[in-house]
Amino acid sequence: MSECLFCQIASKQIPAKIHFENDDFVAFEDINPKAIVHLLIVPKKHYDAMSSLKDKDTGMLGKLLNTARIVAEQEGIAQSGYRLVINSGKDSGMEVDHLHLQLLGGSQLNAIN
């Protein structure tokens, strides 16, 4: 999707501070971080949101979570702990209609009640 911001970042049409990249995903810094480490892990293939996924996409989701583990290790926050967040749809606060996993850590995070 050429007009999608995250697709443009993944294809390097728009610059971003990329921390990790492989064939399927790219991880880059959030422009409005909520933690010392706040990275967005984005599939290079466009998916609108969790609600748009099909059963055939479960393998991609497993790879997405594994990528988050790898990035957390790379960022040095795997042992101290981190939070993973996926928003889906406008009511969740999702601002870009492209599935992404937020990785937050680097300090004590407030509990979510």
Catalytic residues: 100
How far is residue 43 from each of residues 20, 39, 60, 109, 110, measured CA to CA in Å? 12, 13, 8, 25, 27
Secondary structure element (H or E) that encloses residue 19, with its range: strand 18-21
CA 105, CA 87: separation in Å to the nearest integer? 17
CA 83, CA 72: separation in Å to the nearest integer? 10
Provide the token pair at 106: 């680097």
